[in-house]
Amino acid sequence: MLQIVTIQLICMVVCFHQAVRGEDKRSVIGYVNESVVLSSYVDPSWTLKNIQWTIFKNDTLIATFENNVKRVDRWPQFNGRLELNTTSGHLTINNLTANDSMEYSTHLEGQGTKEPKINKVQLFVREQFPKPNITLLHSFLDAGKCVISLKCSSLSSNISLMWTSEERLWSDSANVTKESVTWTSSLNREAKFFCIATDGNRNMLNQLSVKCPEPKTCTAYICWVSLIIILILFIIIIIAILHYIKSVQKKCKLETERTNANALLAR
């Protein structure tokens, strides 16, 4: 019981301390090689006279605006990558790197203000991730219904995959990583399928349109040509058969006449 009360008292002291100093802490997500804006969260009505952006527990200065002089080259890690808006107090970091993930503090003073405004921003820098890949596993007609199966995949880490479409889908459970398979059975029409890859902050979408192939049927021209070819072949075969029969009959007739002639000579 005493331990719980002690913890509550500590929390109250910390909160009171932050309230007195005007501190506020938020978090922002950025991506490698992109830019991110760290907001000062200052009252827009303020006219800022002093701005200090710091890092680390020892409040290392990285960008300042003091005595109407702006400096954004105070720490080697950020050389050439910082932009400070002296009106809003916002700090822009360009070409983010993984090493930029840390807590940033800003100390703001306005014209005529008695208490400075202190804000803390936790920056998380993540790797960029591409659109997911969609692969058609199969599509065929079954009893007049188009059966389609698709696979969505992503090589990125900490990514969840999900499907959406106008068609009714049967898919893996939500928040599947790496690969997700879905299938549907519906009327044969061109259907669009969307796979979404998300890290909880940013979504990347890819789509694929699929229609089952219709059974092959011959066109009128092809059918007529095929019929004519078959008729010609049939006629050729009939003529060949008749010619063969005629030649056999002729041969038999000659044999008969020769036999009769030999019989007469024998008499």
Residue-wise pLDDT for 134-186, tens only, equals 999 999 888 888 999 999 999 888 899 999 998 888 876 655 678 889 988 88
Mean pLDDT of 125-131: 94
**What is the C-alpha end-to-end distance of the chain, expressed in Å?**
148
> At 254, is the pLDDT very low, low, confident or very high (cuts 50, 70, 90)?
confident
> Is the pLDDT reported for residue 7 higher than 70?
no
pLDDT at 126: 95
Q: What is the pTM of this model?
A: 0.66
What does the longest C-alpha to C-alpha distance in the chain come to? Answer: 156
> Is the pLDDT reported for residue 16 higher than 80?
no
> Is the pLDDT reported for residue 242 higher than 70?
yes
Q: What is the DSSP letter of 123?
A: E
Mean pLDDT of 100-111: 95
Tokens linked to 92 = 């822009």
Mean pLDDT of 240-265: 78
What's the whole-number average pLDDT of the chain?
Answer: 84
pLDDT at 253: 76
Mean pLDDT of 101-123: 92
Percent of the chain beyond pLDDT 90?
51
Q: Can you list the pairs that 212-218 forms with residues at least 24 positions away whose Cβ atoms lie under 8 Å?
A: 212/139, 212/140, 212/141, 212/146, 212/147, 212/148, 212/188, 213/139, 213/140, 213/141, 214/141, 214/188, 215/141
> Is the pLDDT reported for residue 61 higher than 90?
yes
pLDDT digits over 182-228, tens only?
Answer: 988 888 888 899 999 999 999 999 999 998 887 766 666 777 888 88
Q: Report the range out of 35-44, 216-225, 247-256 with the highest average pLDDT.
A: 35-44
How far is 191 from 187, CA to CA, in rounded Å? Answer: 10
